[in-house]
Structure 1
């Protein structure tokens, strides 16, 4: 298991370095008139040139990259070109909002997907057909459309949940839960549908294997076989899908946080992209990749625990 973790960490760090390097190069090549954007259109050419020198934009690309990399290794991503606030402070302040939504979405999607997928695999019939319809709908309907529908029905008309805004958990668990319910529901719909489809297919495959017939011949009940044996063997496939869903949710959070006015990483990334605030964008990219690496590592460890054969692969 330790060798598996070491291999995955090495691969994750390599991916982090590659993504950060490519992002830095692309942002610097695509950036134009950043200094004028910071100062405004009324700035004189001399003021623009002075601002470019202050931001280091007059230095060669390699020199700027090495300076940024040295700071990033120490955890210092610089300061925002527009607000002057340290990048790390901006991201850490918004990270709990995004993680609250994404982690709760993963948990809700996982529980519902296992329940629906296993039920569809065991009973088939109308439950299975209904799952197919929901899976197609979850893949076809955009998340923002689900979010708008939920806001219209449950926030504007029924007034059960707040339409916008976020309350940290320090304001009370009830207020926090109410503020993230609709965003979580909007993200969880598609994730639950696709994961349930994967659980259903993997469970059906496991139920058709020889060891299941052997267990039945020994007198084990269908429920015990399904939950203790077939589901455990089918779990790695579901975990892999959930890890991919986590990555998709980080991208979907950009839209969801805009709709629900949530002060999260997605909101920060979009505003920084609009302004061309490169230090903040680079910090967001690094933090997001780190989260993806950690989640993939946890999934690999869980898969290795459930299926020892995966440790050697």
Structure 2
């Protein structure tokens, strides 16, 4: 198991390094006159040139990349070029907001998708058709449209939840729930549809296996066969889909945070990209990549626990 974990960690570190190099290169090659953008169009040429020297933009790209890596390895991701605030400080306040809605959406999607998938596989008939129809609809409707409908109905019309803004859980648990419920639902709908389909297919496949017929012939209750044996074997592919959905929801959080005016890293990413604030964008890329590596490692460990053969892969 230790070798399995080390192998995954090494591959994760390599992926993180490659993503950082590619992102850094693309940002600087496509950034245009960054010093001019920071100072404004009215700044004279000498001031712009001095700013470029101050930021190190006059140096070769490989030298800038090397300096960035040297600082990043010590935990220094630099300062914002526009606010002069340390990037880590911005991330500390915004990352919990994004993780709140993404993790909440993942948990809800996993629970509801498993229930819907198992029910559809076991019951069949109109229940199966209804679940598949809802899954297709949930998958087809864009997340931002779901978010807008939720705001219109449950926040503006009914007044049950907050339409915009975020309340930290440390300030008020009830206020936090009111501020994240609608964003969580908006993100979870599409994931529920995809995961439910995967669970349904895996459970149907498992129910047709020989070992299931053997267990049933021994008199084991159908629910015990499904939830203790079939669902265990169906969990591995479902976990893989769940990991993909989690990563997708990190991207989807950018739009959802804009709709609900949440101060998360998605909103920060849009702002920094529009400004050309490269240190902030790079920090978001690195943090997001680290989260993806951690999630993939956790899914691999869960799959290895469910299926020992995975440890040899």
TM-score by length of 1: 0.99
Q: Does the Cα contact within 8 Å between 2:165 and 2:260 map onto a contact in 1?
A: yes
| Shift in Å, 1:222 | 0.3
Structure 2: how far apart are the matches of 1:293 and 1:4?
14
Structure 2: how far apart are the matches of 1:20 and 1:139?
31
User: What SS does structure 1 have at the residue aligned with 2:270?
Assistant: helix
Question: Is the counterpart of residue 128 in structure 1 residue 128 in structure 2?
Answer: yes
Residue 192 of structure 1: aligned partner: 192
Residue 80 of structure 1: aligned partner: 80
Structure 2: how far apart are the matches of 1:195 and 1:260?
25
Residue 150 of structure 2: aligned partner: 150
Question: Is the counterpart of residue 281 in structure 1 residue 281 in structure 2?
Answer: yes
Structure 2: how far apart are the matches of 1:4 and 1:122?
35
Residue 44 of structure 1: aligned partner: 44
Q: Does the Cα contact within 8 Å between 2:105 and 2:187 map onto a contact in 1?
A: yes
- Point out where structure 2 has 5 or more consecutive residues left out of the alignment: none
Residue 245 of structure 1: aligned partner: 245
User: What SS does structure 1 have at the residue aligned with 2:288?
Assistant: helix
Q: Where do 1:56-135 residues align within 5 Å?
A: 56-135=56-135
1:122-174 CA-to-partner distances (Å, cap 9, x unmatched) read 10111111111112112211000000000000001000001000001011211
TM-score by length of 2: 0.99
Residue 224 of structure 1: aligned partner: 224
Alignment root-mean-square deviation, CA: 0.7
| Shift in Å, 1:195 | 0.4
Structure 2: how far apart are the matches of 1:120 and 1:139?
17
Structure 1: how far apart are the matches of 2:138 and 2:195?
10
Question: Is the counterpart of residue 210 in structure 1 residue 210 in structure 2?
Answer: yes
Residue 173 of structure 1: aligned partner: 173
Q: Does the Cα contact within 8 Å between 2:39 and 2:48 map onto a contact in 1?
A: yes
Structure 1: how far apart are the matches of 2:2 and 2:211?
30
| Shift in Å, 1:239 | 0.7
Structure 1 stretches (4+) deviating beyond 6 angstroms?
Answer: none
Residue 298 of structure 1: aligned partner: 298
User: What SS does structure 2 have at the residue aligned with 1:59?
Assistant: coil
Structure 2: how far apart are the matches of 1:18 and 1:127?
46
1:224-282 CA-to-partner distances (Å, cap 9, x unmatched) read 00010000110011111110001100110100000000000100111000000000000
Aligned length: 313
Residue 264 of structure 2: aligned partner: 264
User: What SS does structure 2 have at the residue aligned with 1:54?
Assistant: helix
Q: Does the Cα contact within 8 Å between 2:139 and 2:189 map onto a contact in 1?
A: no
Structure 2: how far apart are the matches of 1:167 and 1:131?
34
